[in-house]
Structure 1
């Protein structure tokens, strides 16, 4: 399936690039330290996943 036809995962506020972007990777959410919760509720930065997507490497 081509990339333009494939539905992309929605981005969370803490994501710097869309999931699946070339030269990107997952990291623990800095707001909830990877727990997915902040102040007893779903972390608004990562959407409760505990992960954010960031670019890696550089040009």
Structure 2
């Protein structure tokens, strides 16, 4: 199996949003509902600044 160049993998990684606790796609992370807008993507009739309107943020998953 051929592996692509490391920079190719970064091209598919979505940019981080202000509400993300970790880089999207990083090991030990997953998508979670945005706490600021409760997954709606809007707050007070505007786009949620934490998730940038997606309703989803990246956060660390439990372990310990």
> How well do the aligned residues superpose, as a CA RMSD in angstroms?
1.6
Q: Where does 1:1-59 land on structure 2 (aligned, <5 Å)?
A: 1-6=4-9, 7=11, 8-58=13-63
**Structure with larger Rg:** 2
Gaps of 5+ in 1: none
Structure (1 or 2) with the greater helix fraction: 2
Gaps of 5+ in 2: none
> Please, what TM-score do these two structures have when normalized by structure 2?
0.79
Question: Counterpart of 2:26 in 1: which secondary structure?
Answer: coil
Question: Counterpart of 1:54 in 2: which secondary structure?
Answer: strand
> Please, what TM-score do these two structures have when normalized by structure 1?
0.85
- How many aligned residue pairs are there? 59
Structure 1 outlier segments of 4+, above 4 Å: none
Report how far residue 3 of structure 1 moved.
4.3
